[in-house]
Amino acid sequence: MKPLKVAFLWHQHQPYYKWENEFILPWARMHGVKDYYDLPYLLKSYPKIKQTFNFAPSLMIQIDEYVSGKVKDRVQILSEKPASALSKAEKQEILNQFFICNLDNLIKPSPRYFELYQKYSSGADADKFSTQEMLDLQVWYNLSWIGEVSKQDKKISELIQLDRNFSESDKKYILDYHLQVLGKISDIMNELKNSGQIEISCSPEYHPILPILIDSHAALEAMPWLDLSNVQFRYPEDAESQIARGINVYRQTFGALPSGIWASEGSLSDATCDMLAKFNIKWTATDEQILKETAQGDFYDTLKFFPQIYHNHQKNCEIKLLFRDHFLSDRIGFVYSNWDAEESAKEFCSHLESIRNEIIRVHGEEALDYAAVTVILDGENCWEFYKDNGFPFLNCLFSSLSDSELFETVKCSEAVEKINPNYSKTFNHIHAGSWINANFSIWIGDKDDQTAWKMLAKARGEVEAKKNNMSPELLDKVLNEIYIAEGSDWFWWYGPEHNAPNKNDFDILFRKHIGKIYELLGLAVPYEVLHPIYLAAEHRRYSPASSQISPEANGTARESEQWNGAAIFSSAGGMSTMHQVGEFLAKMRIGNSDGELYIRFELARKIELDEFITMSIDGTAIFHIYKNKIEFDNRLNNMQIVEYSFGEFCDLKIKLLDSEKVSLSIELKTSSLGNEINYCKDFPIIYSMI
């Protein structure tokens, strides 16, 4: 019996939070203590389990700076200060910052921490908290982020049991212990790497979107309607430097060269693949949707389970490609956190068994020698939503995979070792896009994204104009600021798609690095760099209509101005640090003229054949909007579709009876396996007629 190979890739990543000599945000430390040590350590109990860990160099650099004691984060500094010496402003800052974590899994398990949270949530200000309460809060915010493995430390276990009335020495022990754990991350990774149980890959140094660095107009391949006429960023030399510098950080940390690179956010293009191959990188990975867009009519469902080849005949270079199964990856990332651990592991394995059976049915059992299911997700963000940091689930999953003869876990380099032309194709062109919706909308599709890119391009142009007159030392400093500002995370947080309490900090950090570039060049910092990019008013979830409209409703961008005055509903922004593939609706515009309702769906990407939007109006008229058709069930015969069209947008014109308000409910649905819905999001809206 041949087993099905399963390749897990855990992407360990944090942006570069350092400004001057301080980390503005604490997440490299917090996730280092909670996740980056624990997940690889857990594998020691399961020697049959092989996996791949992708470490972003920007994370490695920060861990080293923490361990050396050279740099501290703001939370760390506030935590170290004796509670009795805190000013009122510092107390308030602690209250604002030290509850930013998962309520159910990091706060509620401690009666004391939850008690402090409730007091803060009731509106109590800094004056209402005693010195002991502030000390307990300092302790608990740092204690709550300690991972399951590290909780086995005798002193840490005792402090968790104590729960309250901590001493300053207790606090110091915890903060020192954080640094001890951070110092052990590279050791455990090297140990597992040298034993052959894991492979370690990396990303470009500061985690940039490589295709956009090479040519920002690469975004137009997937989104030809996007207006990038004022956004010109073409610095392939920066992309090459980010790769080279990332590989160098990897070599310093792990003493070797990586075989594979997870290009930031799974973002690929022809030029990106050429560049990775130039560095002798053997494999890279992205999402299955990229394969679907690349293969077009030659795509079939089981193709994604086989490694593919990108080959540039002109440059005589090639690289092997793995494709993320987004159904299984999203099960771990978004679904199983609220499930029973044993049931979720069982369900995951049942899907793997179904895939194995399908491969055998279509290709024969010998195809299992060449197939691999690739599961890729962040190695940190989802575990905060699991009980006990996901350990019950991971123990059940790893135990099931170890005991089963049906499956074999492999490293990514092992998954691409065997290529059979009967199952794998060779492409001379790969669709330019990321793991999210096979495009770059998240990073360059919104007005704020584009404002940030224009700001960066202007600063980069100044560097280019003056570089020949700079000393090597100054040029190196300036380019380092450029490389940091090119990181993907600044652009991730611009636009409405993602929200978090620290969202504005990313805008501040980005603009600080841009400003530093001008200062190093001896130039005045432009006015726009000194003011926030984030347009809060434009990113409200729902903006009411301001006037009647009568658009042509023909699905094209040509008459977009006719939709001015419509209400705007944004479906994005529900996710925080994570993103889910099923989110294909970006915005919806709703407007009316006398007796007629106009609706425009603006999509983040094309609707696939197994996806649809369900819209209910007043609970009686049900619309099912598919890729190229609309099904309509009007139970009360109180409205009718006058016209609809599909194009760059999906537009509807609906005849209504007189009404002051209509109630709309929008659901997005996608199914990747039979009739099972793996993503469903409901948005209720009350629209008032103008």
Residue 270: closest CA among 299, 290, 287? 290
End-to-end CA distance of the chain: 67
Cβ-contact 651, 621 below 8 angstroms = no
Answer yes or no: is pLDDT of 657 > 70: no
Tell me which of 5 and 535 has the higher pLDDT. 5
Which pLDDT score, from 0 to 100, does residue 658 have? Answer: 60
Query: 119-128, 303-312, 557-566: lowest mean pLDDT where?
Result: 557-566
* pLDDT class of 455 with cuts at 50, 70, 90: very high
Angle at 222 between CA 218 and CA 225, to 5 degrees: 95
Task: Give the position of tokens 């940190």.
Answer: 380
* pLDDT class of 577 with cuts at 50, 70, 90: low
Instruction: Give the pLDDT confidence of 107-143 residue by residue, as tens digits.
Output: 999 999 999 999 999 999 999 999 999 999 999 999 9
pTM confidence score:
0.83
Which pLDDT score, from 0 to 100, does residue 673 have? Answer: 37
Answer yes or no: is pLDDT of 573 > 60: no
Instruction: Give the pLDDT confidence of 381-396 residue by residue, as tens digits.
Output: 999 999 999 999 999 9
Which pLDDT score, from 0 to 100, does residue 575 have? Answer: 44
Which pLDDT score, from 0 to 100, does residue 580 have? Answer: 54
Contact residues for 405 (Cβ-Cβ < 8 A; gap 6+): 1, 3
DSSP string, 546-576: -S-------SSGGGGGGGTTSEEEE----BS
Instruction: Give the pLDDT confidence of 478-514 residue by residue, as tens digits.
Output: 999 999 999 999 999 998 777 788 888 999 999 999 9
| CA dihedral sign of residues 446, 452, 454, 460 | negative
**Distance (Å, rounded) from C-alpha 28 to C-alpha 13?**
8
> What are 669's strand-pairing partners?
612, 680
Residue 238's H or E segment, with its range, is helix 236-254
What's phi and psi for 346, nearest 5 deg?
-65, -45
> What are 599's strand-pairing partners?
590, 652
Answer yes or no: is pLDDT of 234 > 70: yes
Mean confidence (pLDDT) of the chain: 91
Residue 396's H or E segment, with its range, is helix 391-403
Answer yes or no: is pLDDT of 250 > 90: yes
Residue 394 to residues 157, 224, 372, 388: CA-CA distances in angstroms?
Answer: 22, 42, 20, 10
Residue 262: closest CA among 330, 190, 210? 210
User: If you average pLDDT over residues 567-573, what whole number do you get?
Assistant: 69
